[in-house]
Amino acid sequence: MEEDLLVASFAVAPSPISLHQVTLSANQSGGDGDMGLDITLSSGLGLRAGHTEVLNVSLPAGFYFPGWPDASNTSGPLLLEAYTQEACPTEAWLKCTVLILGLPLGDTLAYGARFTVSVFGVRAQPFSGTSGAFFLSTLSAATGLIADQVEAPGVYISPAVLANASVSSSSYITNSSVAFTVRFSTVAYLDGSFRVRLELPREYTYTSLPSVSEASIDGTFSVSAEPVSVQVSRTTRFPQAAAEQSGAILVRRSAGTALPPGSWVTITLGYSPNS
């Protein structure tokens, strides 16, 4: 006599991957440099017979490679087999990159193996602040079954300094109306929509917002302000001292062509009184 026994199934969670540290040789927005990853795999790699396994490293949105990436400098036997780089699903103007690292035939990484991977030629996200997360997983190259995975915190990217930035005035005569010309070259990739903030010296005031009279780039422009009240003394009125409006002028560009690093931008704002 035979008996059947039905045992309830259970879920097997992926083993954790530890991403101990991420280092960047260039941590400014849009900067080109090297990325170092310090990793421990709980379940190892290449230890399951009959399966070719790979380690996938998904970089935060906005990190990408202008050329072919080089990940040959590792403390283990891992090699860069391939990579994918395409528009991110939520932000199409950003690129999302996945590195696919594999083992030479017959090589293994033991359970709990800790190793480093250095990736050369990576370009950081084109904006400052904390990046998105890193996603790491080991999986069977044939079946896509996941053995290990982790979502690790992102890294902080500092603002890049605009190159060759200058502001010129059409006149430097006291109490005249002037036009400002803002000129700079881009360090990071700029989307077709961005904003330029121009903080006026307290000696420059305005009664109405200036408009963009000329620009070297395409797109639609609008101007807003963050006004502050300042005391200005003018010889052309009595009493000479009075409150006027100064502060920051914000130029917003939309629906333009994306600008790669190294692009020159010139924007002219017409007229603001010069005290």
Task: Tell me the C-alpha distance between 3 and 60, whole Å.
Answer: 54
Assess whether 257 and 167 both reside in one domain: yes
Per-residue model confidence (pLDDT) at position 30 = 85
What total of structural domains would you count in the chain?
Answer: 2
In this structure, is residue 7 part of a structural domain? no
Condensed to tens digits (0 to 9), the pLDDT of residues 2-17 reads 666 666 666 666 678 8
Per-residue model confidence (pLDDT) at position 102 = 87
% residues pLDDT > 70 (the chain): 88
Chain mean pLDDT for the chain: 85
Q: Is the pLDDT of residue 247 over 90?
A: no
Per-residue model confidence (pLDDT) at position 216 = 95
Assess whether 260 and 145 both reside in one domain: no
In this structure, is residue 28 part of a structural domain? yes
Assess whether 237 and 118 both reside in one domain: no
Give the CATH number for residue 205: 2.60.40
Q: Which tokens is 116 given? A: 């480093």
Domain boundary among 107, 138, 157: 157
Assess whether 144 and 28 both reside in one domain: yes
Q: Is the pLDDT of residue 70 over 70?
A: yes
Q: Is the pLDDT of residue 222 over 80?
A: yes
Q: Which of residues 260 and 250 earns the better pLDDT score?
A: 250
Q: Which of residues 235 and 23 earns the better pLDDT score?
A: 23
Assess whether 122 and 199 both reside in one domain: no
In this structure, is residue 1 part of a structural domain? no
Condensed to tens digits (0 to 9), the pLDDT of residues 233-242 reads 777 766 767 7
Task: Tell me the C-alpha distance between 128 and 132, whole Å.
Answer: 11
- Predicted TM-score of the model (pTM): 0.73
In this structure, is residue 30 part of a structural domain? yes
Mean pLDDT of 53-59: 91
Per-residue model confidence (pLDDT) at position 250 = 92
Per-residue model confidence (pLDDT) at position 218 = 95
Per-residue model confidence (pLDDT) at position 51 = 62
Per-residue model confidence (pLDDT) at position 271 = 62
Q: Which tokens is 267 given? A: 């924007």
Assess whether 88 and 214 both reside in one domain: no
Mean pLDDT of 119-145: 87
Per-residue model confidence (pLDDT) at position 20 = 92
Assess whether 126 and 170 both reside in one domain: no
Q: Is the pLDDT of residue 175 over 80?
A: no
Q: Is the pLDDT of residue 275 over 60?
A: no
Per-residue model confidence (pLDDT) at position 122 = 92
Instruction: State which residues form the domain around 109.
Output: 15-157
Condensed to tens digits (0 to 9), the pLDDT of residues 75-87 reads 778 888 889 999 9
